[in-house]
A = this chain, B = another copy of it.
């Protein structure tokens, strides 16, 4: 029952760097596997097989299947910061800034389906693990603050109308970008249409930007 440390951060001793390398390799494989099959669908044995390490190593570093899952989720959420981290967009006009945010969000989702699938899975699990990941609150807040800023500038410049809640805007953008990837296999079932085809994707991207902008426009 005792939770194992799992914190072994190899520095100083042993074969330098080897440990971290193994850890990351496991994390990479596990990310694909969990994104592919979900927490309950993924198999530790299979992850172990695809790794350069052995099954024992997974338990050595991550303690349990859930521990591994949490580590995977945490890394994916950390990586997602690149969307907004350095992009303050304060140099852009409000409407251009908004379009830029929406476009970047759309692209990120499209380029990282494994992240989308991990989030889907986490929602299937009713967010059981998301609370344990440090920094998510801050990240979410930051995104919303950025939107609030863009909205305020837009209202001041006459581009946008008043009364739009940044959080609602955030949900709108997320929904439009997320859904395309998350529901890829069921959405337009019955139509001759591959939602990943460049042409269709580009059109959808443009539409998503338009939708958001037309809602905000004064």
Contact = CB atoms under 8 A, between A and B. Distances in A.
Interface of A: 37-41, 117, 119-127, 130-131, 136-141, 144, 165, 167-168, 170-172, 174-176, 178-180, 182-191, 193, 203-204, 207, 210-211, 214-215, 217
Contacts of A171: 179-180, 187-188, 204
Given A119-B183, A127-B186, 8 more contacts: A37-B124, A120-B120, A140-B190, A144-B191, A168-B207, A171-B179, A171-B180, A175-B176
Given A119-B183, A124-B124, A141 B176 contact: no
Q: How many copies of this chain are found per oligomer?
A: 2
A168 to B, nearest CB: 5
A172 B207 contact: yes
A190 B138 contact: yes
Contacts of A138: 190
Given A136-B189, A141-B190, A120 B130 contact: no
A137 B141 CA distance: 41
